[in-house]
Amino acid sequence: MLELINSFISGLTQIFVWSTFGLMLLGIAIGFVVGILPGLGGPATIALMLPFIVKMRPVEAFAILLGMASVLATTGDITSVLFGVPGEPTTAATIIDGHAMAKKGQAGRALGAVLMSSLVGAVFGAFVLALFIPVVRPLVLTFGSPELFMLAILGLTFIASLSGGALLKALLGAGIGLFLATVGMDPQSGIQRFTFGQVFLWDGVGLVPITMGFFAIPEIIDLGIQRSSIATGQIERLGGVMQGIRDTFRHWWLVMRCSALGTFCAIIPGMGPSVSQWLAYAQALQSSKEKERFGKGAVEGVLGPGAANNSAMGGSLITTVAFGVPASVLMAILIGAFLIQGIVPGPDMLIPEAKGGHLGLTFSFVWIVVVSNIITVAVCLLFLNQLVKITYVRGSVVIPIILLLIYLGTFAEKNAFPDLVLMLFFGVLGWIMQRLHWPRPPFILGLVLGNLAESRLFLSVNNYGLAWLSRPAVLVIMALTLAGAFYPLVKRMREKREEKEDGAAVSGPTAQQKKRLQFNWASAFSLALVLIFGAALWQSRTFSFTAGFFPWVIGFPVFVFAMIQLLFDLTGRKARKGHDDDMEEAGADLPKHVVNLRTANVFMWTFAWFLSIWLFGFTIGAPLCTFIQLKMGEREGWLLTLLLTATAWAFIYFGFDLLLHVPFPKGQLFIWLKGFSSI
Amino acid sequence: MRKALWLTAVVLIALSPQITLGAAPFYEGKTIRVTVGVSAGGGFDNEARILARHMPKYIPGKPTIIVENITGAGGLICANQLYKLAAPDGLTFSHFNGGFLFAQVLEQPGIEFDARKFTYLGAVSMENAVLFVTKASGITSIEQFMSSKTPIKLGGTGIGAYAPDAIIKIWKAVSAMPAQLIGPYKGGADVRLACESGELAGSVISWDAMKSAWGKRFDSGEARVIMQAVAKPRPDLPKVPTDMMLAKTDEGRQLIDIGVHLNNVFARPFVLGPGVPKERADLLRSAFQKTMGDKEFVDEILKAKLGADPVTGEEVEQAVLNAFKTPKPLVQKLKEIYYK
């Protein structure tokens, strides 16, 4: 016990050495810039630091690396709130209510809330790491494949909470997400599922392009329709940020719960901040008495994910440090750093120095995370008011910037051009779903949990046959799952009964509508789903049992549900409105043809960017499109246009090309020209 | 006239360094890209990064070498890109899983390169997988393993992965090895976790990874190495039997020879794309070779717990060409083993 405390304190004192502290500040500074700009990928930049840490002492090396990593989630939240573009894939959930608040002119409050909850989450996670060190190994080792599978299923029950009233659509969305997770090479049987011969799709569909397209594209379309700045309405009172901070303390238990959720998920191999941010959001929603506020700017919808994605750092460090199992690409790089330093992650990291271990070093990590977060939040608070001003810049200038960030962010994740196509595809899908009032979070949750569920199911069955179903931990989680699945349903049935007793109108088809079938966009979308799933199931008829099991178990119910939904849409029956959709729709006060025109306009520019980048490459294509869009599309002045174009070019060239060596593909036009000249 | 003479003199003087010393080396002021087929942070990627720091010393002109990660399909995308997109100017080379070179022999779909046209710079280390079991499994030797009445659960990472899956499958095909391949786990780290929790009894991983990731637990007996998948026993594992002992027939011996031991040679290659001018390719090969003997390089490699058991470019090339000479019936047999 005494050695434990010794290590705890020595960890703290180790970081307050000038060289170490200075490096930590440097790491924070770099992480700040990297995190706030989607695309300057955290992992890529940290990988760049690896050569420099070779000569440092371990605590110095990790001061800079962890200083960077700790900051990423926090600053990623800032981008999510201000622009509706996920700064990191783990900050996508913050967009839903955070960006909604920004649009209402409450950006300061949203940022204050997200920063404070991030800080609380990070500190919580770090201290959990510290406290649980003695028990963490046995705890994690009890979670074998069967337990992990059940946890994935438990995670899926949160879908019900995320659906608001549109349960069928939520289930469908989740089903689509789960099905999409099967795309790629099935590691079980080695066959290709739904890849259409594209080697690019072997690893499945990437989370970053999907998240980018799904959330960011509908946001810029809304922006284009509004033709105003991100924030409409009055300028927020200066106390906005402080109010956000107060909100964090007002909802203290929520923040605590979501921090715990984030830490716990991060400890579980396979889950992590990508999952826990949505579970936290669902938690916040479920525990609120006024669920309709969510999606329109409820501060709890910001607090939950904000805490969860930062507390994940503590949890991820546990699995990385104590087991050498990287929870994410970032953690994998940290393990690489460990190895370069000659340290082996494992039980040694949890043994005090007095007994020959590295516990003091581990505790120094804890302290670095805590101190980095405190410094980051303090710095952010200083600049917050300036950041908030961005939401008042006119949309015509902001849209090209956001497009630049979206394209760069999507590409820089895997350096794969086809990701841009994927992003566009999901951008269109996300927009359709938003327009037709389909809740989007269940889809993402299905996607991130799909792989975990399938792989762990097969590992369990291969290993234990069916005996795993009777393991004690499995039974406990199963009970929780059933409770979690049925509780919201029971609650809503009760609410519905109360509504009926109050004589509230049940929104069914009116007498007139009943007479004819509604052939509208909603029906068209449902029909498309039916057809696509039909085709997918048909294609999967040649799969072997192991390859086909998951697709069939998911695909057939989805197919049936899609047909039911089609029926609902054709007969005009409306489900209760979900919460994801109801920001007062952009342009609700504008005539329809104007909305359509502006929507088409934004789409056109989005595709123009794609074309420009494809033909001319990033370094030329992006600034080129910036220029054309600002000058000819938006008719901005020469000075502003040239300034922004130059900045875009400098950003790409110096930041990505020279510094990060991001391997941009050559513009197609130049490839053709070269082909011609060699003839 | 005078002016013209002056001019000529000036020009000659200005050019004289060029004329006397010869043209500047090709690599001067240039940047070489090493594309790595896996994401940053793992041993594979580290190998490339450490190489990038030391190899320039041995290339005339001392270019900068940078590392780029081109991930996807386990490294296949990187390999395909090297073949199809890299300009044949000697400014790009790759480090990807050499298993794909053999996969071409086995006619795996998705291979868009011809391994015979690559130039091989060499490898920092041969692959040197070992079979290990946990203490909890109760197995202490390969004989005990082979005589077990119940199947022993070994972890795998997926069809097509050379180690551990292909190796374990080949072993099972040539002997009556009572091993049950449980997988796929997402990666070696997940396999290790499953071993620690008792879900698995062991697996096959590279000896270097064993020493680094398992480290002290290996020393303390938590994990035991009971067989090694190499042609000649490693100097630091003199008593551990090699897997050739499993083969009882000629075909069995050939399967292990080609499927395992030959693959070891080109499992971690550094590869130059096709069409690079011979002088440049030779220059890079020799620079690679010299780097392998560079003390600082070896120190860094060892400190990062990577293996330093280098193979020359020529040896790698020969091994690859030999792989393509595998007789058809064996290719067929290996295809069944790998992909069933």
Rounded-to-5 percentages of helix, strand, coil across chain A: 75, 0, 20
Which of B51, B168, B196 is the best mutation test for A, with the most CBs of A within 10 A?
B196
pLDDT of residue A399: 86
Distance CA B281, CA B272 (A): 8
In tens, the pLDDT along A301-338 reads 999 999 998 888 878 887 788 887 777 777 877 887 78
The yes-or-no answer to whether B31-125+268-339 and B129-262 have a common fold is: yes
Q: How confident is the model at residue A342 (pLDDT cuts 50, 70, 90)?
A: confident
On chain B, the residues whose CB falls within 8 A of the CB of A661 are 33, 66-68
Q: How confident is the model at residue A421 (pLDDT cuts 50, 70, 90)?
A: very high
Higher pLDDT, A638 or B134: B134
pTM of the model: 0.82
Q: How confident is the model at residue B162 (pLDDT cuts 50, 70, 90)?
A: low
Distance CA B240, CA B25 (A): 49
- Kindly calculate the radius of gyration of chain A based on its CA atoms and give it in whole angstroms: 25
Task: Please give the share of chain B, as a percent, with pLDDT higher than 70.
Answer: 91
Question: Exposure pattern of B92-116 as b/e (b: 16+ CB <10 Å)?
Answer: bbbbbbbbbbbbbbbebebbebebe
Which whole number is the average pLDDT over A52-74?
81
Contacts of A140 (CB under 8 A, 6+ apart): A267, A268, A269, A318, A319, A322, A323, B193, B197
Query: Does the structure show a pLDDT above 60 at B318?
Result: yes
Lowest mean pLDDT among A127-131, A490-494, A508-512, A599-603: A508-512
A145 close to B194: Cβ distance less than 8 angstroms: yes
Q: How far is CA A592 from the centre of its chain?
A: 32
Q: Do A339 and B217 count as a contact with CB atoms less than 8 A apart? A: no
Beta-carbon count within 10 A of B241 CB: 16
Query: Does the structure show a pLDDT above 60 at B15?
Result: no
Q: Do B41 and A663 count as a contact with CB atoms less than 8 A apart? A: no
pLDDT of residue A633: 77
- Provide long-range contacts, Cβ within 8 A and 24+ apart, for B233-242: B234/B128, B234/B207, B237/B130, B237/B207, B240/B130, B241/B142
Query: Does the structure show a pLDDT above 80 at A231?
Result: no
Residue A287 DSSP one-character state: T
In tens, the pLDDT along B34-92 reads 999 887 767 788 889 899 999 999 999 999 998 888 887 888 889 999 999 888 999 99
With a CB-CB cutoff of 8 Å, which residues 329-358 of chain A face chain B? 329, 331-337, 339-342, 344-348
Higher pLDDT, A431 or A673: A431
Q: How confident is the model at residue A241 (pLDDT cuts 50, 70, 90)?
A: confident
Structure token pair of residue A246: 């107060």
Contacts of B281 (CB under 8 A, 6+ apart): B90, B119, B272
Task: Please give the share of chain A, as a percent, with pLDDT higher than 90.
Answer: 10
On chain B, the residues whose CB falls within 8 A of the CB of A204 are none
Q: How confident is the model at residue B18 (pLDDT cuts 50, 70, 90)?
A: very low
Q: How confident is the model at residue A662 (pLDDT cuts 50, 70, 90)?
A: confident
Higher pLDDT, A86 or A415: A86
pLDDT of residue B87: 86
Q: Do B33 and A44 count as a contact with CB atoms less than 8 A apart? A: no
Domain coordinates of chain B in residue numbers? 31-125+268-339, 129-262
Query: Does the structure show a pLDDT above 70 at B7?
Result: no
Q: Point out the residue among A145, A270, A661 whose CB comes nearest to the CB of B199.
A: A145
Query: Does the structure show a pLDDT above 70 at B22?
Result: no
Residue B68's H or E segment, with its range, is strand B64-69
pLDDT of residue A164: 66
Distance CA B244, CA B171 (A): 9
Lowest mean pLDDT among A178-187, A191-200, A508-517: A508-517
Distance CA A232, CA A102 (A): 9
Which stretch, A276-290, B154-168, B284-298, has highest mean pLDDT?
A: B284-298
With a CB-CB cutoff of 8 Å, which residues 69-128 of chain A face chain B? none
With H, G, I as helix, E, B as strand and everything else as coil, classify residue B300.
Answer: helix
pLDDT of residue A13: 82
Domain coordinates of chain A in residue numbers? 2-507, 508-573, 592-677
In tens, the pLDDT along B196-243 reads 888 999 999 888 888 777 766 777 778 889 999 988 888 888 889 999
Structure token pair of residue A242: 């402080």
Work out the mean pLDDT of chain A and round it to a whole number.
82
pLDDT of residue A458: 87
Beta-carbon count within 10 A of A197 CB: 9
pLDDT of residue B241: 92
Q: Do B49 and A346 count as a contact with CB atoms less than 8 A apart? A: no
Residue A231 is which amino acid?
A
Distance CA A44, CA A24 (A): 18
Structure token pair of residue A266: 């991060």
Q: Does A187 touch chain B (CB under 8 A)?
A: yes
Structure token pair of residue A609: 């960017």
pLDDT of residue A219: 87
- The interface predicted TM-score of the complex, written ipTM, equals 0.77
pLDDT of residue B19: 46
pLDDT of residue B163: 66
Q: How confident is the model at residue B12 (pLDDT cuts 50, 70, 90)?
A: low
In tens, the pLDDT along B90-121 reads 999 999 989 899 999 998 888 899 999 999 99
Residue A237's H or E segment, with its range, is none
The shortest C-alpha distance from A333 to chain B (Å) reads: 4
Q: How confident is the model at residue A508 (pLDDT cuts 50, 70, 90)?
A: very low
Query: Does the structure show a pLDDT above 60 at A478?
Result: yes
On chain B, the residues whose CB falls within 8 A of the CB of A670 are none
Which whole number is the average pLDDT over A219-236?
76
pLDDT of residue B313: 94
Which whole number is the average pLDDT over B304-320?
90
Work out the mean pLDDT of chain B and round it to a whole number.
87
Q: Point out the residue among A43, A44, A269 whose CB comes nearest to the CB of B193.
A: A269
Query: Does the structure show a pLDDT above 70 at A586?
Result: no
On chain B, the residues whose CB falls within 8 A of the CB of A140 are 193, 197
In tens, the pLDDT along A394-418 reads 777 888 888 888 888 888 777 788 8
Q: Do A199 and B192 count as a contact with CB atoms less than 8 A apart? A: no
DSSP output for B122-185: EESB---EEEEEEGGGT--SHHHHHT-SS-EEEE---TT-IIIIIHHHHHHHHS---EEEE---
What is the CATH number assigned to the segment(s) B129-262?
3.40.190.10
Which CATH topology does B31-125+268-339 take? D-Maltodextrin-Binding Protein; domain 2 (3.40.190)
Which whole number is the average pLDDT over A410-439?
88
Q: Which residues pair with B203 in a beta bridge?
A: B132, B155
pLDDT of residue A513: 45
